[in-house]
């Protein structure tokens, strides 16, 4: 879920939980990716619930340094690993037809 998308403009933590729960596949490990999650109030409640309720790996990304502060590690019951990286570089390769 990318919270910069207009689709999620008015979403709250309860809505996030329902949205994900409705898409969980039973008896399957789920990989949940959330970008710019800091835009949502009380997002940590939904994330902690996913950890408890579903067989899942959860990944949170964001450009806001505040999101990655040690304070949020506390909100997530200190069950997180911070992975620092530099900006991603995307390369799109176009095929050139032979003339």
What's the CA gap between 46 and 89, in Å, rounded?
A: 31
Q: Please check whether residue 59 lies inside any domain of the structure.
A: yes
Domain carrying residue 34: 6-75
Q: Please check whether residue 82 lies inside any domain of the structure.
A: no
Q: Please check whether residue 95 lies inside any domain of the structure.
A: no
Radius of gyration in angstroms for the set of CA atoms belonging to the chain, rounded to a whole number: 17
Q: Please check whether residue 97 lies inside any domain of the structure.
A: no
Q: Please check whether residue 81 lies inside any domain of the structure.
A: no
Q: Please check whether residue 54 lies inside any domain of the structure.
A: yes
Ranges of residues in the chain whose predicted pLDDT is under 50:
70, 89-95
Would you state the pLDDT for residue 25? 95
14 three-class SS: helix
Q: Please check whether residue 84 lies inside any domain of the structure.
A: no
Q: How many domains does the chain have?
A: 1
Would you state the pLDDT for residue 60? 82
Global pTM reads: 0.70
């Amino acid at each position: 879920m990318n919270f910069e998308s207009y689709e999620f403009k008015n979403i709250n933590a309860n809505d996030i939980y329902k949205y994900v729960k409705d898409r969980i596949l039973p008896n399957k490990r789920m990989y949940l990716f959330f970008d710019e999650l800091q835009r949502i109030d009380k997002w940590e409640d939904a994330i902690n619930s996913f950890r408890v309720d579903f067989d899942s790996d959860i990944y949170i990304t964001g450009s806001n340094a505040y999101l990655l502060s040690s304070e949020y590690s506390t909100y997530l019951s200190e069950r997180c690993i911070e992975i620092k990286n530099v900006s991603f570089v995307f390369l799109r390769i176009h095929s050139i037809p032979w003339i």
